[in-house]
Each structure stands twice: as C-alpha cells, then as structure tokens.
C-alpha cells in the first residue's frame, strides 16, 4: 500500500482533535529523566550476592574490576535503556549506590555521621574514592591552579545532579529512549531506579490508570504517531525523550473501556515477562552445550553443494579449474540467499520461528526467509528453542546483513545430553503456547484501542502499512 505524507498528516491532525496529549494533566503529572551521578563508575556496581558487588573502574590507567562489600539497604536496582523492554518487568544486575533518604519532603543526603555508624561498608567504599568525588567537575587555570571545585566539601559523595531523586520510588511507566518503536513497561512495584542513559520515566496523574496508558503507548496507533514526530537516529532508530513522547495523543475512554484496556495491558506485561523468563531458562541450559556450525546447505536446502556444481563445470576445464568454477558458482548462489534475508532485515523487524509438520521455518516480520528444513520431532523442537532465543537476542541495525543472521542460525548446540534436550524441549512447548496467547492478546488490544481512537477502515490500513 502506497501512502502519502498528506494522508498521514491528516490522520495525525484528526487524532489530536479528538485526543489529549500524554503530558496533559489529566494523563500525567511528570515526564522525567533518570539519575545523573556524574561518577557512574563509582556509583554503578554489579550485584553478585548479598552485600557483594563488583566495581568496574573507568579510565586508561584504571585497575581491573574488583569485589566490594556494601550494605544492600543503600543499593537500588538500576534500569538503563537496554533493560527497558516493551511489556516486561525490568531485570538488571546493575545496582546504584544511593546515599539518600527519601520522604514526603524529597530526597535528603545521609549525613557523614549516620553513614559511618549505620552504613560503614558503603562509607568506607565511598571514602576510597574521596579524591575522585571531590574533584568532579573541577576547573584549573593554564598554570594548573585549581579555580573551582564544586564538590570539595563534606558532602562530596552526593550525586552530580539532585533532580528526580524523589521520583524513583514511585509507580511509573518506563520508556526506552533510543528505539525502533515505542517500548514501554510499568514499574508497578516502584522499586526500580532509572539511569540517565537512554531511558525516561512517566508519573501518571492521580485519576488516570497507569495500565491504561501502558496499553495505549505500546499500541500501533501511538507508535505510528511517535515514529512521525520523533527525531530520527542512525540505524533506523528514534529518540523517545520528553520532547517526542509528551505530544503523543491519548484517546478518551469511558470506565468500561478504560478497565478493559488496563486489564489487557496487565495480562500482556505478565505474559511478555513470563516469556522472557522461559527464554532465560532455555538460554541458561544451552550455555552449557557445545555449539557446532551446520552446513550452509542444511540451512538452505535448495543450495547446491560444490561437489554437485563441479559436475556441471565445462568439460574443457582441468580438475583445479573445475573446482574453482564450482566454488565461484556456489558463492554466487549462497550470496543470493543471504541477499534475500538482507532485503527484509531492518531495525525493529520482529523475528520468529516455528516447527510444524516436521518443518523448521525462520521468519522476519512473519515472512519465511528460511524453510524446508525437515527434521524429526526431537531435533526440530530443540533447534526451534535455540532459534527463539536468537530471536530475542539478535540485534538488527541498518548495517546488519543476511550473512550474519544466517551464520547465527547455523550455530546449533550439540544434542548429546538427553536431559538437557528434554528440559529445553519442555520449555519450548510452554513458550509456543504462551507466544500464541500473546499474539491473540496483542491483536485484541490493538483492535480495542483503535476503536477508542475512532479509526476508519482506511486509517487502519494506513497504520497497518507503516
């Protein structure tokens, strides 16, 4: 379907006529950026166990990562852009050392005396970086004399910026910032802190339902508008910062429709999070198995082998030239398969796989790019599980080509551990059932939200074509 800019502009204008913006007080009370410490290498640590964290110093002369003890009470799970997924409760092993107390009046830095008495491990750790913290953002003159040192005081361990510290322990929508499409989840537990790296938070207005807004922002309609008003980044990505998400149109809904959207959004976040957990279980098991590369002729069954091609070489050629002739023909045919995959790869394109009637298929945006691989049930289900993990981890940019994806598809874990194979297949079956349910739920919610926007059949086709 060919669309014009005027058609799209007319649709967006009509949506704004019948909707309120996301940043309208009826919908949200705040859209905010994450925490800015100005010393992330010191405050951001990797959790290893109870009160056990790994610090990774930065800089050309920095020492290697090392383990440190810090009281868990001051450590907060920190979400960056990479952990902000569509309809998924965040998961992260990065924790923020947060030397503040938050109450109804705001966030207050814990004083040195209290830190020494109640959090001696954290205090000792921060003091090990005392000079680094004091000299943050310092300025020197040409002779090397210190002109200004804004953190050279008894509170040198405070963050570089104080904004939004009190908003972290609130129920909030989490929006990934640099994305191929809208990616929003809900922190219903109010336990996740947001980094100032490619992620933003949204506090929902008191009378609005956060689950309703979650469903709307993840819908096809909101994404359609977003990708036409947002700043375009390299590689087919867009910037979902305040400037470009605040204007998104939010439809009106009566109490019944609002509740229906909210319930479906909750179900989808539960389902998508459950899907991720099953994939993690599969990936954990596969990580213990050796991987071997299947032949290119296995991935592309109609690709002729070099041996077969050699039989078609001109009779006048000697053995070595026949081999070279066959290799050249083989490379040309293989490149054509890779090119066919490349033609469908674009940032944000959904990848999927299926094993039905003994046939393995790999799809991009629902279109098969690898098929006619016929194997028995055990092998097929085992490989399908591996490809589903690949679908969730394979990164697509504008520079990603079909060869890279094909090589990843050929890398198959060994099936010489029957217990591992059985466990992976068991989880793959659960995953297949869950994915079918998610697909149905997504269609139903999109249909409901499209009705709230009052879209015509022509407008539905316009959005579906983009």
446: in domain: no
Total domains in the fold of the chain:
2
267 and 303 housed in the same domain: no
Neighbours of 283 (CB within 10 A): 17
* pLDDT for res 466: 61
Q: Domain containing 310: what range?
A: 289-416
372: in domain: yes
* pLDDT for res 3: 44
233 and 362 housed in the same domain: no
* pLDDT for res 27: 97
Phi and psi, residue 107, nearest 5°: -105, 135
d(CA 56, CA 265): 38
190 and 67 housed in the same domain: yes
Residue ending a domain, among 223, 239, 274, is: 274
* Residues 352-403: tens digit of each pLDDT: 999 999 999 999 999 999 999 999 999 999 999 999 999 999 988 888 999 9
* pLDDT for res 344: 94
Which tokens is 293 given? 């590369």
What DSSP line would sit under 18-43, residue for residue? HSEETTSTTTEEEEEE-B--S-HHHH
DSSP 8-state secondary structure symbol assigned to residue 35: B
* pLDDT for res 465: 58
209 and 302 housed in the same domain: no
212 and 314 housed in the same domain: no
| Exposure of 154 in the CB half-sphere (CA atoms within 13 A) | 6
Spell out, as residue ranges, where the chain has pLDDT lower than 70: 1-4, 465-466
352: in domain: yes
Residues 6+ apart with CB under 8 A from 436: none
24 and 77 housed in the same domain: yes
Q: Strand, helix or coil at 227?
A: helix
Residue 67 near residue 52, CB atoms below 8 Å? yes
* pLDDT for res 317: 85
423: in domain: no
* pLDDT for res 210: 98
d(CA 364, CA 345): 7
231 and 330 housed in the same domain: no
| Exposure of 122 in the CB half-sphere (CA atoms within 13 A) | 25
* pLDDT for res 4: 58
Which tokens is 203 given? 């506090």
Residue 165 near residue 107, CB atoms below 8 Å? yes
């Amino acid at each position: 379907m060919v669309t014009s800019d005027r058609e799209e502009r007319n649709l967006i204008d009509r949506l704004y006529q019948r909707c309120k913006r996301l940043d309208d007080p009826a919908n949200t009370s705040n859209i905010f950026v994450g925490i800015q410490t100005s010393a992330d290498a010191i405050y951001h640590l990797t959790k290893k166990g109870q009160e056990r964290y790994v610090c990774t110093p930065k800089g050309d002369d920095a020492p290697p990562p090392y383990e440190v003890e810090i009281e868990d009470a001051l450590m907060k799970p920190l979400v960056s852009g990479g952990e902000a997924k569509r309809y998924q409760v965040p998961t992260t092993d990065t924790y923020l050392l947060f030397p503040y107390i938050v109450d109804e009046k705001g966030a207050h830095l814990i004083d040195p005396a209290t830190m020494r008495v109640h959090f001696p491990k954290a205090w000792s750790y921060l003091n090990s970086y005392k000079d680094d913290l004091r000299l943050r953002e310092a300025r020197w003159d040409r002779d090397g004399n210190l002109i200004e040192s804004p953190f050279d005081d008894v509170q040198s361990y405070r963050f570089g910026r104080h904004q939004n510290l009190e908003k972290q322990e609130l129920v909030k929508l989490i929006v990934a910032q640099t994305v191929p499409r809208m990616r929003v989840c809900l922190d219903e537990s109010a336990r996740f802190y947001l980094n100032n790296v490619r992620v933003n938070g949204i506090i929902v207005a008191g009378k609005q339902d956060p689950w309703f807004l979650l469903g709307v922002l993840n819908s096809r309609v909101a994404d359609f508008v977003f990708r036409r008003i947002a700043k375009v980044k390299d590689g087919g990505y867009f910037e979902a910062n305040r400037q470009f998400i605040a204007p998104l149109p939010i439809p009106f809904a009566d109490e019944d429709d609002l509740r229906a959207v909210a319930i479906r959004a909750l179900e989808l976040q539960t389902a998508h999070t459950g899907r991720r957990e099953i994939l993690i279980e599969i990936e954990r098991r596969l990580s213990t198995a050796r991987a071997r590369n299947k032949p290119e002729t296995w991935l592309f069954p109609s690709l002729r082998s070099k041996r077969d091609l050699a039989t078609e070489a001109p009779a006048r050629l000697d053995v070595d030239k026949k081999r070279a002739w066959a290799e050249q023909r083989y490379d040309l045919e293989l490149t054509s398969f890779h090119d066919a995959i490349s033609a469908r790869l674009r940032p944000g394109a959904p990848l999927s796989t299926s094993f039905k009637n003994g046939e393995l298929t790999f799809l991009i945006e629902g279109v098969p790019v690898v098929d006619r691989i016929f194997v028995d049930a055990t092998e097929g289900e085992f490989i399908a599980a591996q490809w589903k993990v690949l679908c969730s981890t394979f990164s697509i940019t504008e520079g990603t080509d079909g060869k890279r994806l094909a090589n990843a598809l050929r890398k198959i874990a060994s099936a010489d551990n029957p217990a591992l194979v059985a466990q992976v297949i068991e989880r793959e079956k659960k995953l297949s059932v869950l994915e079918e349910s998610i697909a149905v739920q997504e269609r139903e919610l999109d249909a409901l939200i499209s009705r709230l926007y009052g879209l015509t059949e022509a407008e539905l086709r316009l959005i579906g074509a983009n």
